Amino acid sequence: MISVALFNNKGGVGKTTLAYHLAHMVQRQGYRVLAVDLDPQSNLTAAILDEEELEELWGKDSELFAQQSHPEQRKLFTRTGGQQTIADAVRPILEGTGDIAAVSPVKVNDDLWLLPGNLELSAFEDKLSAAWLTSYGGDQAAIRTTTAFYRVIVQAANEVSADLVLIDVGPNLGAINRAALIAADTVLTPMAADLFSLKGLLNLGPTLRDWRQKWQLLVRPQIPATIPAPVARMQPLGYVIMQPEMRLDRPVRAYERWLARIPWVYAEAVLGDADWSPTDRSYEIATLRNYRSLMPLAHDARKPMFDLRAADGALGSTQKYVQTCHQEFRALAGDILARLEEMQAAFDEA
């Protein structure tokens, strides 16, 4: 099992859209995939589950069902009845009543599962922040707190025998994301070709290196064998450029200007290599075109964009657009899987 965190310090770059579609496409390549939503906004969970399932999952009764007194309607909740979220898994630590609780992932379809997010996860931020510094001294309670996400993910991945874990995290450098990224073997960076994304890279790279160094040098040597703990590899896998919608006030020249700067900025900030050639795009995995016209249809149909059919409103030329979307995501999944195989081999040798 290998894990990938999808992360960029800059929000609004299509991170959750990429995670959602990548999870579905990788599963179709014959892999068992566990998607993990560690963003307190829970956008990935909301994209995968229906509104009724979210109500069941988050413990809020539907007003419609409550008013009409139809408890038998609960039988419709075939995926989330009795399920819990990542917030439920860490609640014993948050409340000081125990260690992590086992939470089974929701089965989305054959070979694809979701470890659901919850808006209540934001309450765990302060606990994680305080535990980070305390863990330097080997405090076991702090270490259990900091490794909570990792241990929940490993339990869930083992339960479904996952080959790949995709972790969706929020766009910030807070304590929740630190704990999430420490749990990841690799980091995939979705980004746009603009000033804000490049500025995000300048913050992202040094921060990841600092977290990795402090964990591996100060904390990990003190962790007892009784507490499963991550290595905190966080190896850069590469970046995927999410092409924006071109507007008259943002000409193609401006897009290309920022696009040309990405390889060097990524190399210096994320890889720590100031001598990187500006023309070397070996960490550029793909550039995905803008599929904004397909997104509303996909949202209404509750399916990936590349699965849209005429019955979903994908008519005429739109259906050809759907086919192009399928080809691009299939190629992207293949490239990412090939890179992950190389990294897994390197991890095994180390």
pLDDT tens track for 178-196:
999 999 999 999 988 888 8
Section 11-23 average pLDDT: 88
Residue whose C-alpha is closest to residue 76's, from 114, 50, 58, 109 = 50
Write down the residue that tokens 């808006």 correspond to.
119
**Rounded to the nearest 5°, which phi and psi values hold at 110?**
-55, 125
Q: Is the pLDDT of residue 249 over 80?
A: no
C-alpha–C-alpha distance, residues 35 and 185, integer Å: 14
Q: Which of 43-52, 150-159, 173-182, 334-343 has the lowest mean pLDDT?
A: 43-52
Place of tokens 């000081």: 96
| Nearest to 333, CA basis, from 166, 167, 169, 153 | 166
Q: How far apart are CA 14 and CA 171, in angstroms?
A: 11
> Edge-to-edge strand order for the sheet containing 164-168?
106-109, 112-115, 33-37, 164-168, 2-6, 186-191, 235-242, 284-288
Question: CA 237 to CA 271: how far, in whole Å?
Answer: 10
The per-residue b/e assignment along 61-86, b for 16 or more CB within 10 angstroms, e otherwise, is: ebeebeeeeeeeeeeebebbeebbbb
- In the block, which residue shows the tokens 């300048």? 202
**Domains of the chain, CATH where assigned:** 2-291 (3.40.50.300)
Comparing 64-73, 75-84, 88-97, 301-310, which segment has the lowest mean pLDDT? 64-73
Given pLDDT bands bounded at 50, 70 and 90, which one contains residue 62? Answer: very low
Q: Are 197 and 246 in contact (CB under 8 A)?
A: no
Pick from 57-66, 90-99, 281-290, 337-346: least confident: 57-66
To the nearest 10°, report the CA torsion of 68, 72, 75, 80. Answer: 50
